[in-house]
Structure 1
Amino acid sequence: FASHRLTSTVFSELFLEGQLCDSVIRAGDVEFKIHRIILCNCSAYFRDLFCYKPLPSNEAYNFPTVSPKAMSLILEYAYTQSVVVTEDNVLELLVEADHFIVTGVIQACCDFLERKLCVNNCVSICNLAHLHNCPDLRGKAYLYILHHFEEVGALSLEFLQLSVQQLSDLIEKDELNVKQESTVFEAILRWINYSPVERGCDMPALLKKVRLLLMPTEYLVDTVSRNDLVISSPACMNMVTTAVKMLNESNMERPLTQTRLPSEVLLAVGGWVSHFPSNKIELYNVRADHWVPLSWRHNASLGFYGCAYLNGCVYCIGGFDFISYSSHVRRFSLTSRTWTEVGSMHEERGFLSVVTLNGCIYAMGGCRQQKKLKTAERYEPDTNQWTMIASMHKRRTEAGAATLHGKVSGIEVVEDLFYEFHKLELQTQLRSVIAYDPRTRHWRNVAPMLHPRENFGIAVLEDQLYVVGGFHNGGLFCNVECYDEKTNRWYIVSDKGMTQGAVRCCVLKRHPDLTEPVNEMPFVLFEVVTAA
């Protein structure tokens, strides 16, 4: 490595001094003296040019359409193996790097554009990547559009420039991340209204891609069927009336068509069943409102552990087997589907609270040998080490904890609203909930749960708080509740279909290795464009 760096430095100095050069390149009206062997090393284009179309040393290779600035950056990369990519030069640099087949510069531009992906530019970046044959970047930009379709369809100006075929391909995808199918219909209207004369005729083809059977009957009757574009098209009216008729005649609880795939799913791991630890793992799809058991198994010798998802892996932390407490941590890889022991905590903990924040795992409170704990520690996957952090003010055990994430003024921040669920007080189970906001440093009461419980699973899914299972009046509980912070209300969602206490939950981003289990769900397909 040191020898390579020294060689690069020497050639770079010769290039800057114009020494020992054997050819000349002209970009615009600027000439660059170069060493052909250096350019051959980084570009197949220049290798073929110099080998098969050589010019006398006194003649220049002329590229009149290439700007001197872009050529200078490409030559800088050829001699130093590094290039500075900025918002001002990335588009021109990618075009010329693609032209000259300089793969290192192409990758640098793609990495830069990927980091800059947002609602306002994802469509143009996707098109740019397709034009210049950058499949990885195109896949990530396309997935970004799918995952953020609600914002893209409502706010992006680039969205209005899509072709009818591009829009049709998007809205037919199972991966389109919309909570309500009405969002798709409204996005179509916005796209058509941008140029109604030219696009009005596209309504039947686009409406055909909308999953009308996922819409409430009231919305179909009151909104869709009364839209002027729908009314003016017999084909559209036929689709809407057919959907309304099917919904009115159906008494099925499940959707009549396949639901859109969620960008996240809820994983319930283990727990305590009939006085023994369970090794069962179940997955909840919020779109289909359905649980499916997974074939994966884990070490079930412990219960009452913490559970978290981070970087494609599920972590089971600590635990208790009614005899001893554990400091061990087990990690399950979704890719290899194997369990691995990783770094142990400093303290043995059961009945602990676990959350993830900024790429780390936090373990808080719990108990050890009948003693409640207020200590807390942080796990960093890169070092495989736990570090003690400041202790909590009070000793806490069997407390549920979660973090809600948000965005303020376009800057990503963490709104660590820690929700504390009280369960046992003088042998009475409570359903009260309080939330702590570190910005104000105050606790506040929020709506109580519908049912009192203890030792349940807790996780945040699509900005809503779910509690799963637990113990109730000395018995196991299968009920699942969801809290909506915007309305400050709890409501019942689909039961898991089995009683389970001491269960722990974590949320998984869409992952290619979840294809098989999600495919087992009714009316659901799972065809991932690229890993999330």
Structure 2
Amino acid sequence: MSVYNELRLEQQLCDAVIRVDNVEFPVHKIILCNCSPYFIALFTRWSTPDSRVFDIPNVSPDIMKLIIEFAYTEFVPLTQGNVQELFVAADQFNVKGMIQAICHFLEEHLAPDNCISIWRLTDVYPELSHKALLYTMNHFEEIDLTSEEFLLLSVQELVKIIENDQLNVKHEKAVFGAILRWIACAIEECREYISLLLSNVRLAVTSVDYIAESVSNNELVRGSKECRPILTRALLDLHTNIFSDSILYTPLARPRLPPAILLAVGGRSTVGPTNIIDAYDIRADRWVNVPNNEEDIPRPYSGTVFLDGSVYCVGGFDGLEEFSSVHRFDLGTHTWQEVTQMHSRRYNLSTTVMDGCIYAMGGHDGHGRLRSAERYQPRINQWNVIAPMHERRTDASCTTINGKVYICGGYNESGCLSTAECYNPETNQWTLIAPMSSKRSGLGVIVFADRVFAVGGSDGTSRLDTAEAYDPHTNTWHDVPDMLNSRSNFGIAVIDDRLFVVGGYVGSIDICKIECFDAETCEWSDVRSMEKTRSALSCCVVYGLPNLAEYSAPRGTLSLPDVEEDEIE
């Protein structure tokens, strides 16, 4: 194509002139026909064979210049300043290659201040339009507070956003607040929409006090007779359905879909090893079983991580054999695929993800406890051995923060460990850090509130309910509130700004109990238990899935009878 472009620039062998606002562009018809059916029609059906000059309306010379250059070079210099005008022109002239490049650019540059205009701009391109709408719903609270585009939404567009189960808001009061801000920009014209918009707020997942004090007393709501049955219905749903699965089908009580899902993978139950995968829907407070196609994957005492849209199950022990194998779970098809195995067999190992790589450390190979560690690069499907740890460790736990891997506790020939160390991939070295205040084997370690939390475990004598947190900046540990239950060999994860511990082992029994820690209140609270008791399981949080609804509690709509205000006291 460079030869043709040189001929165009030298005006050699050109057989047509594109004219825009008296600016002329000598071109070769065949090159423009190659990039767009518009130019095929222009040169063959909309003109006579002897036509040489073609006037093009409704486009600027600068934009036409870029279209012609793209036809010759397949390159367009996209910027935030020219992309929307180019998109309109590329669509007008049906330059599909340019449209694809623009869609890719827009997708990469989605932001709170432009996602609504991109959503509007791309109605004829469903894939990008859908992604822009998803971005809008995922960043709704930020967009509501910062984007001028939000205030320019039509009522139909606003309803399309707030009625969607995928709208990502931590509290429904954010939706009501956004409605009030939208109406305030044109209060006289928009006050009539308050009942329509209020009917799409999930009021029954708030509280009686919020409905009675903040919503009912709002001037717009109070002045609308159409809002009264909505409030009555919400109060009824809140009173009667708070502990019932019917909330998943009641419009005003149906929880939004969560932006992320906590998976509890494998482990041991009362009958032995299990391959169960359960998904926790934090918005609905429900557990959902996830089908998978293998009887022996995942395994107890393995490590599970989420990376690049897939779940990896690393190593493990089924009671008879220690494994070096690694399997990847496709969250779209619910199927397992084996990838390159580790250099060592490992169970009771520690795994984590950092910088697109999976780290596997310590564990037992069937002959002894290991100091060794290795790193997997999914891009090349290869494991590489890294520097060994200072301690041999099984039943330890690890996490990552500030570009380093931290591993804490565990068990070796000396017994339960209180020691901890960190790995720097830039130097390929492990460094001992301050020890924990307690010996902990079978603990959970995770980054939460910018600190490394070490939770529960066993000190060799009893299971622990204690927890402590490490500050990497000061190399010090300090106590945090005790859990509600003592436990070891449980799953641990952070989701929705809370730290969750899942299942585990207490004394001589497995448990199904779950609790979470809130950093704002510094309190632990109970969460809905799993259906089956499990220990030696792994947890990870998955997000960004196009089929996230498959891992959530099922939502639906249930037609309910109208209620009168006097039905609620």
TM-score, reference length from structure 2: 0.82
Residues 286 and 553 in structure 2, CA contact (< 8 A), matched pair in contact too? no
Deviation at 1:43, TM superposition (A): 0.6
Out of 295, 308, 312, which is 2:305 matched to? 308
- AA of the residue aligned to 1:492: D
> Does structure 2 retain, via aligned residues, the 8 Å contact 1:402–1:458?
no
For 1:12-27, list aligned pairs within 5 A. 12-27=5-20
Change (3 A) 1:339 1:250: closer
Range moving further from structure 2, 363-372 or 350-359: 363-372
User: Separation in 2 of the partners of 1:522 and 1:365?
Assistant: 46
What are the superposed Cα offsets for residues 73-130 of structure 1, whole Å, 9 maximum, x if unpaired?
Answer: 2122111122221222212211211111111111111111111112221111111112
Task: State the secondary structure of the residue aligned to 2:316.
Answer: strand
Name 2:33's counterpart in structure 1: 40
In the alignment, structure 1 residue 290 sits paired with structure 2 residue 286:
yes
Structure 1 CA distance for aligned equivalents of residues 370 and 219 of structure 2: 64
Deviations 1:324-348 (CA, angstroms, capped at 9, x unpaired): 4221101121233322110112222
Q: Secondary structure at the match of 2:113?
A: coil
Q: C-alpha separation between the residues in 2 aligned to 1:80 and 1:36? A: 15
Within 5 A, what are the aligned runs for 1:69-218? 69-130=62-123, 133-218=124-209
Map of 2:375 onto structure 1: 378
Q: Does 2:52 align with 1:31?
A: no
Partner of 1:140, secondary structure, is helix
Select 2:261's aligned residue among 261, 265, 270: 265
Give SS of 2:75's match. Answer: coil
- Counterpart CA distance in 2 for 1:89 and 1:226 is 47
Residue 502 (1) aligns with residue 536 (2): yes
Asked whether the 8 Å contact 1:401–1:458 carries over to 2, the reply is no
Pairing partner for 1:280 from 272, 276, 291: 276
- Counterpart pick for 1:222 among 210, 213, 218: 213
Q: Which structure shows the higher helix fraction?
A: 1
Q: State the secondary structure of the residue aligned to 1:449.
A: coil
Q: CA deviation at 1:297?
A: 4.4
Matched, 1:423 2:457: yes
Identify if the C-alpha distance between structure 1 residues 245 and 136 changes in structure 2 by more than 3 Å, giving closer, same or farther: closer
Rounded to whole Å, the distance in 1 between the matches of 2:241 and 2:68 is 67
Listed as ranges, the gaps of 5+ residues in structure 1 are: 1-7, 406-413, 525-532
SS in 1 for 2:278: strand
Quick check: 1:283–1:291 contact (8 Å CA) kept in 2? Answer: yes
Percent of aligned pairs sharing the same letter? 44
Equivalent residue, structure 1, for 2:357: 360
Indicate the larger mover: 52-61 or 19-28. 52-61
RMSD: 2.7
Alpha-carbon separation, structure 2, partners of 1:155 and 1:212: 24
Residue 387 (structure 1) aligns with = 384
Distance 1:421 1:215, change over 3 A: closer
**Of 452, 468, 478, the match for 2:486:** 452
- For residues 384 and 191 of structure 1, what CA distance do their matches in structure 2 show? 50
Answer whether contact 1:308 1:316 (CA < 8 A) is retained.
Answer: yes
Which range moved further: 75-84 or 161-170?
75-84
- Counterpart in 2 of 1:483? 517
Letter in 1 for 2:24: E
Q: Does 1:60 align with 2:60?
A: no
8 A contact 2:284–2:553 mirrored in 1: no
CA–CA separation in structure 2 for the residues paired with 1:521 and 1:54? 57
Q: Give the AA of the match of 1:500.
A: R
- For 2:487, what is the secondary structure of its paired residue? coil
2:347 is aligned to 350
For the 8 Å contact 2:314–2:326, the answer to whether it is kept is yes
Change (3 A) 1:56 1:322: closer
In the TM superposition, residue 312 of structure 1 has moved relative to its aligned partner by: 3.1
In structure 2, runs of 5+ residues without a counterpart are 403-447, 559-569
Amino acid at match of 2:304: C
The number of residue pairs the alignment matches comes to: 507
Contact 2:305 / 2:540 at 8 angstroms: preserved in 1? yes
1:432-451 matches, within 5 Å, as 432-436=466-470, 438=472, 443-451=477-485
Query: Which has the higher mean CA deviation after the structures are superposed, 33-42 or 85-94?
Result: 85-94
After superposition, give the CA deviation of every residue in 1:291-344 in whole Å (9 maximum; x if it has no partner): 122332434374200112223322110112344422110112123332211011
CA distance change for structure 1 residues 159 and 242 in 2, over 3 Å: closer, same or farther? same
Matched, 1:239 2:235: no
Contact 1:403 1:460 in 2 (8 A): no
Matches within 5 A, 1:395-414: 395-402=392-399
